[in-house]
């Protein structure tokens, strides 16, 4: 901070500009304090502290948690496309402060709304984009691949939240077909044996664990 005794018109102007910019909220990293899954709104806590001048001294000051923050998920296509996931306390992300009041838009969703409050870059007009992470905590090796898109989750539902049938995994299907093919290649049918040879074949297959499930453990579809 410049020494007041050495202030000049230029330094006074620059200090005024810095003070004005300090009051403009743009975007900051934040973490989730709580999350309403049904309404996709969260309480978030801004991570970096602020340096403020108080009684002539510079102090470190935190920001109170921000409530009622809409969470930004991928979506579109007239509402037929969406990509959502649960949020937990402490999840990191980026909080963005809109240029103007979004109260009317949040309550109506109308394409054209006229803000009734003239506030600008206010903390009450924050939106939270989950997933932004610090260098100290990157996505782990199970969640990334240099040559493919990786969607990692304890459970994936494809189509809608009503998906209930597990998808079949090609490797498991191949394994079951291979076991059946091997058994059939050595089976010799016997005429007029009342199906005894076929029963033996089935018993042999069952001894290998056939038929086994070919379902995935984490992916359901409809």
| Residue 40 covered by a domain | yes
Q: In this structure, are 118 and 192 located in the same domain? A: no
- Residue pair 68/96 in contact by the 8 Å Cβ criterion: no
Instruction: Match 């102007």 to its residue by tokens.
Output: 13
pLDDT for 169 equals 96
Instruction: Note the pLDDT of residue 140.
Output: 95
32 and 132 belong to one structural domain: yes
Q: What's the pLDDT at 204? A: 84
Residue that is last in its domain, among 140, 155, 189: 140
Domain of 203 in residue numbering reads as 165-221
Whether residue 35 is found in the same domain as residue 128: yes
What's the whole-model pTM score?
0.79
- The pLDDT score that the predictor gives to residue 83 is 96
What's the confidence (pLDDT) of residue 191?
Answer: 83
- Per-residue confidence (pLDDT) for residue 157, from 0 to 100: 97
CA dihedral 36, 69, 127, 63 (to 10 degrees): -130
Alpha helices in the chain (DSSP H): 9-22, 103-108, 170-186, 196-207
CA angle 109, 113, 117 (to 5 degrees): 115
200 in any annotated domain: yes
Same domain, 135 and 185: no
Residue 75 tokens read as 């979506």
203 located within any domain: yes
Do residues 130 and 49 share a domain? yes
Same-domain status, 131 and 33: yes
pLDDT at 90: 97
Whether the Cβ atoms of residue 93 and residue 47 lie closer than 8 Å to each other? no
Give the whole-angstrom CA distance, residue 94 versus residue 85. Answer: 16
Strands 126-130 and 57-61, bridge-based pairing = unpaired
Instruction: Tokens for 134, please give them.
Output: 């610090």
Q: How many domains does the chain divide into?
A: 2
CATH number at residue 49: 2.40.50.230
Over the chain (222 residues), the average pLDDT of each successive run of 10 is 66 69 85 97 92 72 92 95 97 96 92 89 95 94 96 96 97 92 83 85 86 94 96
Distances (CA, A) of 13 to 2, 17, 20, 54, 56: 12, 6, 11, 20, 19
- From 105, 140, 175, give the residue that closes a domain: 140
């Amino acid at each position: 901070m410049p020494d007041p005794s050495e202030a000049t018109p230029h330094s006074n102007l620059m200090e005024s500009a810095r003070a004005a910019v300090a009051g403009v909220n743009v975007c900051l990293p934040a973490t989730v304090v709580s999350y309403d899954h049904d309404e996709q709104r969260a309480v978030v806590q801004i991570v970096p502290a602020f340096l403020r001048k108080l009684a002539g001294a510079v102090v470190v000051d935190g920001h109170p948690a921000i409530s009622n923050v809409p969470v930004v998920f991928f979506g579109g296509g007239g509402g037929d496309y969406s990509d959502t996931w649960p949020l937990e306390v402490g999840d990191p992300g980026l909080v963005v402060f809109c240029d103007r009041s979004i109260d009317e838009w949040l309550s109506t969703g109308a394409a054209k709304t006229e803000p009734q409050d003239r506030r600008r870059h206010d903390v009450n007009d924050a939106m939270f984009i989950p997933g932004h992470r610090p260098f100290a905590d990157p996505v782990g090796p199970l969640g990334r691949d240099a040559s493919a898109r990786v969607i990692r989750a304890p459970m994936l539902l494809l189509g809608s939240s009503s998906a209930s049938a597990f998808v079949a995994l090609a490797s498991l299907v191949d394994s079951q077909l291979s076991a059946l093919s091997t058994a059939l290649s050595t089976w010799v049918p016997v005429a007029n044996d009342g199906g005894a040879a076929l029963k033996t074949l089935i018993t042999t297959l069952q001894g290998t664990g056939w038929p086994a499930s070919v379902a995935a453990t984490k992916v359901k579809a409809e």
